[in-house]
Chain A
């Protein structure tokens, strides 16, 4: 199915000039899609236009001192903490803040108490309105009466007030008011190099109208320190991007052979690097997408200062990207995000990734969605090339669930020879297919019980393959390898699983299949799955470390003989 929507309330909220929105369609599906689906079909989005605070609340105590909250900004987490929304206050009367601009920074609606009460259990229980919109926590900025701490400022027409530690000499200090949100725009050209240049002080853009580029959860604005559009053979290298309040680099439409190499991004308001192509609904054969981009040896850290749904690298309607040898750490959500499966052919290799999803969950250090099919090639049609994720060393700490979260429908991923520490293993969700997860070393941790593998069924010949993996379940994780379904199925099977090694205390690895717990031996005998796989005693920490070390060393070697038979 291909589904999208535009105009009406959709275009009131989001910029649909480049792309209609999957979430404004009447047939969206996947995780919590019924929420957006209902809102789109009713013409009433789940994004608030105001906030009424309780008169006896902490917030009310504060707000009663505000003479004028007009032009204040509320930053609020989405109900399930997938992104943050910002809203400009245009009026404050009694105990209500009415919003003006903003609200489009994420691609999706907030859910209501009758849709996802788990997100705010106690609040919903005490709320008489079952259709109450749920948020996460929030804060307010740009209120004069809240100017009370060093390093804060308040601006209004005609003046600027700044609080500063007295250690600074106020007569010998300069401030920068950002005026531009894009510094360099490269459009319709070729063969340009930017080298060893620092970029700083761009204007924040989070109250702009964002677009929803494709079927992932994201919305994105079209501003960045460097915007590259309809261009080829552009190189940005050894440059610094520091304290920019929009995006770092954004590739738009038809870009070919752009190289982003050896750059460092830090303290960025939104994403470091992003690519956003254009299609005519499902048809991308015109080629108006970034293809063949190389993202190499970059360092990205401390991004998503304002918009939490930000990544080191994000792509939508883009393909054949090589992301290699990068260092990505300290960010609120995924380091690498594939918003759709357009074209595939990406290579993600030899990257070092840790401290991702520091402020969010239900996500991975690398994250993907594949909810909308696209024709990217006149011969191959809808079928993308495989995306290879190989030789990466990933810590999936904080809220990251997997090293790679292949979410809703993600297909054609070949995830081979990686180290995933503190991570769940392979995930299939909402009908992903044709992926290979092989020869990875996974050291799991207690999370949600998916542990080594979580696979449902799919049509024969298109199932996922999970093989030659080593999955270590520390004592705290227990024995459960993960979830399978349709183990007895005739037309559908839970993928091909074989030649895996599971390590747990007591050497008694078990699988939950159709709600029942079976040992590895039972799974092999009853369901003819996991041939050649073994359940082993948990080794010592020293041995586990030797395996990790060997695997990391192997990142520089040729693929093993074993890989050739896969």
Chain B
């Protein structure tokens, strides 16, 4: 699986232990999709720390089951006889009395208009994706076909897209590109890649992609409010209301 190049930063023991982690994962977890082992090796910094490169990748399979009665069309796959939406299919299956309650989602994206609620009438339901490109999305599409678009140059090699879309814009607290599926970042200071930049207290980017206390005069304390209602029970007492006695409680003056 690995090509040993040369040792770099880490000790031999550390590198061999990291290597063992990768090997054991690939042997133990049979449901890994292609590409995961390469990601694991990258996360363990095998190449940077240990000079080790992955030269192969396991391929795995997962099961697909369906008695095949109901198919649901996606944004890019619609066959004759397919139902139009997941909601329609769920409603149909809950009222039809079918013993087979399998519904297969066609490959592509299925946009939900509202949360799909499954209750007692949906017992026995099986929702199956046609392949690994089958997605349920909680979003609404914004593009130049659905919304008026103005494009201008913001800077060299950077475009500014201005969509008018009164129905969705005020709710756009987060945003993704559809394809490729990329997270867009709310205009931020200091700038950063929110997905990957680490800004914890010991992270190398702390204070670089975040602001330190040096800029703070004060965090405003809240005004005094109503004191909460307290519940306090000494469980060591024989007459405590729990009807059990607990005299080894971890939080009773253990020292």
Contact = CB atoms under 8 A, between A and B. Distances in A.
A203 B200 contact: no
B144 to A, nearest CB: 5
A155 B176 CA distance: 13
A45 B214 CA distance: 23
Interface in A24-81: 24-27, 29-30, 40-54, 57-60, 62, 73, 77, 81
Nearest to B177: A175
B160 to A, nearest CB: 6
Contact of A180 (B138, B161, B248): B138
B142 A176 contact: yes
Contact of B161 (A20, A140, A161, A431): A161
B184 A552 contact: no
Contacts of B235: 1-2, 282, 373, 382
Interface in B146-202: 147, 149, 151, 153-154, 157-166, 168-179, 181-192, 194-196, 198-202
A371 B252 CA distance: 10
Interface string A140-162: 11111111111111111111111
Given A196-B132, A421-B17, A175 B176 contact: yes
B165 to A, nearest CB: 6
A142 B129 contact: no
B203 to A, nearest CB: 6
Contact of B217 (A53, A159, A162): A53
A201 B248 CA distance: 47
A120 interface: yes
A178 interface: yes
Contacts of B251: 1, 29-30, 371, 408-409, 430-431
Interface string A296-335: 0101011001101000000000000000011101101000
Contacts of A146: 187-189, 191
A202 B112 CA distance: 11
Interface string B115-137: 11111101111111111111111
A25 B142 contact: no
A130 interface: no
B140 interface: yes
B21 interface: yes
B179 A48 contact: no
Interface of B: 11-13, 16-18, 20-21, 24-25, 28-33, 36, 39-40, 43-44, 62-65, 105, 109, 112, 114-120, 122-144, 147, 149, 151, 153-154, 157-166, 168-179, 181-192, 194-196, 198-203, 206-207, 209-235, 242, 244, 246, 248-252, 254-255
14 contacts: A6-B229, A7-B228, A26-B232, A42-B227, A52-B218, A135-B216, A148-B187, A150-B158, A191-B123, A192-B122, A196-B129, A373-B246, A393-B21, A430-B250
Given A139-B211, A196-B132, 14 more contacts: A3-B231, A52-B220, A57-B214, A59-B215, A139-B210, A153-B187, A160-B165, A176-B176, A180-B115, A240-B135, A305-B183, A359-B198, A373-B250, A456-B255
Closest 5 CB pairs of A and B: A431-B254, A359-B200, A409-B250, A180-B138, A59-B215
